[in-house]
Amino acid sequence: FDAFTRDRAGKHLHFLIINCHASHISYQFCKYAVENNIHLLSYPPHSTHLLQPLNVGLFGPLQYFYGKAADDYVRNSCSSVLKGTFWGFDCDARKYAHTKINIKNAFHATGIHPSKPNAVLTQLPSTKSPDSLSFLSDRSLPSTSKQILRTPKTRQDL
């Protein structure tokens, strides 16, 4: 990362966005980042499928184009995909999926560039606010402390 961004960043800060998996972070790694003016930003756990540009904008098209190439091969050659043919499909799929526009769109869709912090939040399903406890009826609420502390004897007491 540093070798490819150092000249462009100059003396300015540059950012590296990583997932927070422990196998990706070490003391030496963090020390190198601090010494070289690299700020580390970390995705929250279990969120890269929504926030990481590669997952959002490149792996989907790659999967589509690889599947299409493999399907076309199987239909036209009446043969299954073998190790020797796999790489040809993969190279072709990458050529179609990893385009400049797909890369830019991936960073845009995740709100990284241009910066749009709510880009992902607007795509999440809304959840019901816990402000109303409509699932509780008056009957289910204990009216005295004796009821709260009483051990249930039957299923109806529960």
Classify 48 as helix, strand or coil: helix
Q: Please state, in angstroms and rounded to a whole number, the distance separating the CA atoms of residues 111 and 56.
A: 11
Contacts 24+ apart (CB under 8 A), 69-78: 69/93
Q: Looking at the whole model, is its pTM more than 0.75?
A: no
At 28-84, the pLDDT tens digits run 999 999 999 999 999 888 888 889 999 999 999 999 999 999 999 889 988 888 888
Q: What is the mean pLDDT of the chain?
A: 83
| Per-residue pLDDT band at 121 (split at 50, 70, 90) | confident
CA neighbor of 2 nearest in space, from 23, 26, 22, 32: 32
